[in-house]
Structure 1
């Protein structure tokens, strides 16, 4: 058997715009961040923020949009000082508009408290929310 391969720096999923998808997102992000040795408190922040963004996308999908999807992708990256962050993109349908009026809601305030940065872009076919996590320490290399 070969050596263990390092965890993937990237995770992505396409979910039905349905509340049932939320537990899948939370569980997969917890497992992924655990494999990346993310600090426990920061795992909670990222999972809560992603859950809230996906909840918003699901809740604001037009009821007539049969088979509507929410796409979630994230990647870990290192900054020049070795500190690590995750960048998460949550993309929903054309009826999801978490701005500008949505920025006052409790969900958005919670995301702001859990993440370092939020950026929302709206295109004709949908909205994408980009979330940047707080910086966590570099992984210590074990030799």
Structure 2
């Protein structure tokens, strides 16, 4: 059975919202927030006709950046929520280069003060402490700026060709 015209309008509205020029997220300091960021980024990139492999890389990099903001910026280690903390903000934009190729810039900002997690291990065999390494493997460039006011991480994707028309 074909969708109704109301359904068509809702789907078109969802598509146009998802293809907005920028991505703006304000996330609670909560362990659910990385999954919200992953889902919204995936939908936004898909609406911009990003290739699936590049989408996966960016989703993983953003997941690490948001998770680090929650864990290191605010010290949240248990699956709880910190309602007193300033939210984590994510801003994304598509940049079109002179040759038509495109890349994404994602900025993740928290207003916490960096702290190592309570259960961090310093042993060489630890599986912790690889977030920035994972981000660097997934994107072209990672910039981390830590100040007294919080931390800002900028992720710049590898360039992709213009979408086929």
Query: TM range, normalised to the smaller chain?
Result: 0.7 to 0.9
Deviation per CA, 1:59-99: give whole Å up to 9, x if none.
0114588233111110001111111100000001231379x
* Structure with the greater alpha carbon radius of gyration: 2
TM-score, normalised by the number of residues in structure 1:
0.84
Please say if residues 9 and 77 of structure 1, whose CA atoms lie closer than 8 Å, have aligned partners that are also in contact: no
Q: How many residues align?
A: 135
Map 1:110-129 to 2 at 5 A: 110-129=134-153
Deviation of the 1:5 alpha carbon? 5.2
CA–CA separation in structure 2 for the residues paired with 1:96 and 1:131: 19
Return 5+ residue gaps in structure 2 as ranges. Answer: 1-8, 10-14, 77-81, 117-127
Distance 1:8 1:62, change over 3 A: same
Comparing both structures, which one devotes a greater share of its residues to strand? Answer: 1
The residue number in structure 2 matching 1:10 is 22
**SS class of match (1:41):** helix
Please say if residues 90 and 108 of structure 2, whose CA atoms lie closer than 8 Å, have aligned partners that are also in contact: yes
Tell me the C-alpha RMSD between the 2 structures: 2.5
TM-score, normalised by the number of residues in structure 2:
0.74
**SS class of match (1:128):** strand
